[in-house]
C-alpha cells in the first residue's frame, strides 16, 4: 500500500502536529505550506493522497481540490476545516472530495479516513498499470506477468522467437501456462491476425491433424502435449514440416522430450525438428517474488468474474503464499485466488497474526528455494547468487529442511 500523504496547511504548528501523527502511523508526510508549493507534487502518477486545510491565504482547499480533479479525478483529497460548516462539507463532497474532517479531529478518525483513501489509491494505480499492459502493443508485456529476472527473460525470449517463421517448443511444469505462452507467441508474430488453433495432441489422428492444419493455415497451430501425438500423426506432421507447409507449429509439453524419445513415445526426427528453438517457462517456486503481482492479478480477475469487490490482501497472507512451492503453478494460484475472493477457507489464508520474524522466515525460505531453482539445485552457485557465505547458506537450508537436490532438473 502507498504511504505518502501530501499535507497542505498554512499553519506551521498544525503541519508539524499532523506530520507527527502520520509518522507515528508509519505514513510519509510531504508538508506543503500553500497550494503553490503543493501543486508541484500533484500528478496522475502520485502514489499517495492529499490532506489539505480549506481556509488558506490565496488559493484555498477548494481551489486545490478543483486543480487535483483536473489532473487526476481518482486522486483522493481529504479536506480539513475548523469552521464546522456543514454546507461547506456538503459542497466539498459534491466537488469530489474523498472525505471531510473537522479540526481538531481525533488521530484515530484521521488515520481511518487516510487508510481508506490510501487503499483506494493503491488499487487505482494497480488497475491502471494492468490496463496499460493490456492496451499496450506488446502481448508479452500485457499477458505474461511478473517482475523477476526470470519473468523478464521469458518475455524477452518470446519477443525474440515470435517474429521468426520457425517451429517453437514451449515447455514447463504442469499448470505453468504453456498454452498462454503459445498464444502470446502467435499474437507477437507476423501471423497475429490469422487463426490461432489449439489442439490436444492426444488421439489426434492424421485426418484430424490435417484438418487442424488446414484450419490454422496462414496462422499458428498449437499442439499441446506433443509427446502424446499418435505415431502415424507424428510422421504426417514431420512430413508437412519438412515440406514447409503452413501453418506455423508451436508445440507444448510438460514432459522431458529427450526422455520421451528414448522411451519411443516421440519420433526422434520430429524431436530434432521442433527442439531447435525452445522456450522454457520457469515454475513459481523458482520466482516466488512474482507471486504477489500474479496473485493480485488473479484476484482482480476472479472478483470481476464473480461480480464481487476484491478483498484486501493482508501481508501475512502474502507471506504464506510466497512460502509455498505451488507444484500446480499458475493454475493452482488462480484457484487459490478464486477461493480467496469467494471467502472459502484455505491453508495459505489461515496464517493470521504472524509475527515479523515468522513472516521474514517464510520470505527467506522462498528466496532460498528460488535461488536453488535458478541454479538447477547447485547449492554453491545459489549461495554465490545470494551473496551468502557457503556455510551460512547450508545452515539456512538445514534450518528450513530444504534439500538442494530436490531442485535439480
% of the chain exceeding 70 in pLDDT? 91
> pLDDT grade, residue 349 (50/70/90)?
very low
Condensed to tens digits (0 to 9), the pLDDT of residues 383-406 reads 988 888 888 989 988 888 888 877
- The reported pLDDT for the residue numbered 122 is 81
Q: CA angle, corner 263, sides to 261 and 267, nearest 5?
A: 35
CATH topology for the 139-282 domain: Rossmann fold (3.40.50)
Domain 285-407 belongs in CATH node 1.10.8.60: yes
Question: For all residues of the chain together, what is the average pLDDT?
Answer: 87
Torsion of CA 213, 215, 218, 221, to 10 degrees: -50
Of 75, 115, 82, 74, nearest to 100 by C-alpha is 82
Q: Is the Cβ–Cβ distance between 232 and 198 less than 8 Å?
A: no
- The reported pLDDT for the residue numbered 85 is 65
Of 48, 4, 50, 49, nearest to 25 by C-alpha is 4
pLDDT over 60 (residue 305): yes
Condensed to tens digits (0 to 9), the pLDDT of residues 95-118 reads 889 988 888 889 999 999 998 899
All cell numbers assigned to 160: 525474440
CATH 3.40.50.2300 residue ranges for the chain: 4-133
All cell numbers assigned to 121: 489509491
- The reported pLDDT for the residue numbered 181 is 96
Q: Is the Cβ–Cβ distance between 294 and 385 less than 8 Å?
A: no
- The reported pLDDT for the residue numbered 217 is 92
pLDDT over 90 (residue 242): yes
Q: CA angle, corner 37, sides to 36 and 40, nearest 5?
A: 95
Model pTM above 0.95: no
Is-cis flag, bond preceding 124, omega within 30?
no
Name residues whose C-beta falls within 8 Å of residue 117's C-beta, 6 or more positions apart in sequence: 49, 76, 78, 98, 99
pLDDT over 60 (residue 351): no
- The reported pLDDT for the residue numbered 199 is 94
% of the chain exceeding 90 in pLDDT? 52
> pLDDT grade, residue 352 (50/70/90)?
very low
CATH topology for the 4-133 domain: Rossmann fold (3.40.50)
- CA 52, 57, 62, 68 torsion: positive or negative? negative
All cell numbers assigned to 182: 503459445
- The reported pLDDT for the residue numbered 322 is 81
pLDDT over 90 (residue 259): yes
Mean pLDDT value of segment 150-161: 94
Q: Is the Cβ–Cβ distance between 70 and 61 less than 8 Å?
A: no
- The reported pLDDT for the residue numbered 348 is 43
Q: Is the Cβ–Cβ distance between 281 and 184 less than 8 Å?
A: no
CATH 3.40.50.300 residue ranges for the chain: 139-282
Buried b / exposed e along 290-312 (16+ C-beta atoms within 10 A): bbbbbbbbbbbbbbeeeeeebee
Residue 156 phi/psi, 5-degree rounding, is -65, -40
Q: CA angle, corner 279, sides to 160 and 234, nearest 5?
A: 115
Mean pLDDT value of segment 9-30: 92
CATH 1.10.8.60 residue ranges for the chain: 285-407
> pLDDT grade, residue 368 (50/70/90)?
confident
Condensed to tens digits (0 to 9), the pLDDT of residues 180-231 reads 999 999 989 999 888 899 999 998 999 999 999 999 999 999 999 999 999 9
Which of 63-67, 283-287, 303-307, 363-367: highest mean pLDDT? 63-67
Buried b / exposed e along 15-36 (16+ C-beta atoms within 10 A): beebbebbeeeebebbbbbbbe
pLDDT over 70 (residue 359): no
- Higher pLDDT: 358 or 144? It is 144
> pLDDT grade, residue 131 (50/70/90)?
low
Amino acid at each position: 500500500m502507498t504511504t505518502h500523504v501530501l499535507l497542505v496547511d498554512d499553519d506551521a504548528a498544525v503541519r508539524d502536529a499532523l506530520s507527527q501523527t502520520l509518522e507515528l502511523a508509519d505514513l510519509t508526510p510531504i508538508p506543503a505550506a500553500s497550494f503553490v508549493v503543493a501543486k508541484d507534487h500533484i500528478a496522475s502518477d502520485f502514489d499517495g493522497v492529499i490532506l489539505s486545510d480549506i481556509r488558506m491565504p490565496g488559493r484555498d482547499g477548494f481551489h486545490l481540490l478543483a486543480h487535483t480533479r483536473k489532473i487526476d479525478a481518482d486522486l483522493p483529497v481529504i479536506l480539513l476545516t475548523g469552521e464546522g460548516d456543514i454546507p461547506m462539507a456538503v459542497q466539498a463532497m459534491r466537488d469530489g472530495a474523498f472525505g471531510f474532517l473537522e479540526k481538531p479531529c481525533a488521530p484515530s478518525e484521521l488515520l481511518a479516513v487516510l487508510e481508506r483513501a490510501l487503499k483506494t489509491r493503491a488499487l487505482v494505480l494497480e488497475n491502471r498499470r494492468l490496463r496499460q499492459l493490456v492496451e499496450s502493443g506488446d502481448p508479452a508485456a500485457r499477458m505474461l506477468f511478473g517482475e523477476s529476472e526470470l519473468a523478464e527473460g521469458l518475455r524477452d525470449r518470446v519477443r525474440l522467437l515470435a517474429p521468426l517463421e520457425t517451429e517453437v517448443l514451449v515447455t514447463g511444469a504442469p499448470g505453468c501456462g504453456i498454452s498462454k505462452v503459445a498464444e502470446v507467441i502467435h499474437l507477437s508474430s507476423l501471423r497475429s491476425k490469422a487463426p490461432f488453433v489449439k489442439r490436444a495432441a492426444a488421439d489426434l489422428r492424421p485426418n484430424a491433424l490435417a484438418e487442424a492444419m488446414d484450419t490454422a493455415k496462414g496462422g499458428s497451430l498449437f499442439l499441446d502435449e506433443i509427446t502424446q501425438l499418435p505415431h502415424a500423426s507424428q510422421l504426417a506432421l514431420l512430413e508437412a514440416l519438412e515440406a514447409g507447409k503452413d501453418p506455423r507449429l508451436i508445440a507444448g509439453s510438460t514432459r522431458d522430450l529427450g526422455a520421451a524419445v528414448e522411451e519411443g513415445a516421440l519420433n526422434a526426427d520430429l524431436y530434432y525438428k521442433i527442439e531447435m528453438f525452445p522456450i522454457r517457462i520457469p515454475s513459481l517456486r523458482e520466482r516466488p517474488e512474482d507471486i504477489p503481482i500474479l496473485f493480485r492479478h488473479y484476484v482482480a480477475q476472479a472478483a470481476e468474474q464473480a461480480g464481487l469487490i476484491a478483498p484486501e490482501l493482508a501481508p501475512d497472507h502474502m507471506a504464506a503464499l510466497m512460502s509455498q512451492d505451488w507444484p500446480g503453478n499458475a493454475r493452482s494460484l488462480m484457484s487459490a485466488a478464486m477461493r480467496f475472493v469467494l471467502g472459502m477457507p484455505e491453508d495459505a489464508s489461515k496464517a493470521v497474526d504472524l509475527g515479523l520474524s515468522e513472516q521474514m522466515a517464510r520470505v527467506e525460505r522462498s528466496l532460498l528455494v528460488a535461488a536453488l531453482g535458478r541454479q538447477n539445485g547447485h547449492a554453491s552457485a545459489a549461495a554465490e547468487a545470494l551473496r551468502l557465505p557457503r556455510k551460512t547458506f547450508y545452515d539456512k537450508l538445514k534450518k528450513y529442511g530444504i534439500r538442494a537436490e530436490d531442485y535439480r532438473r
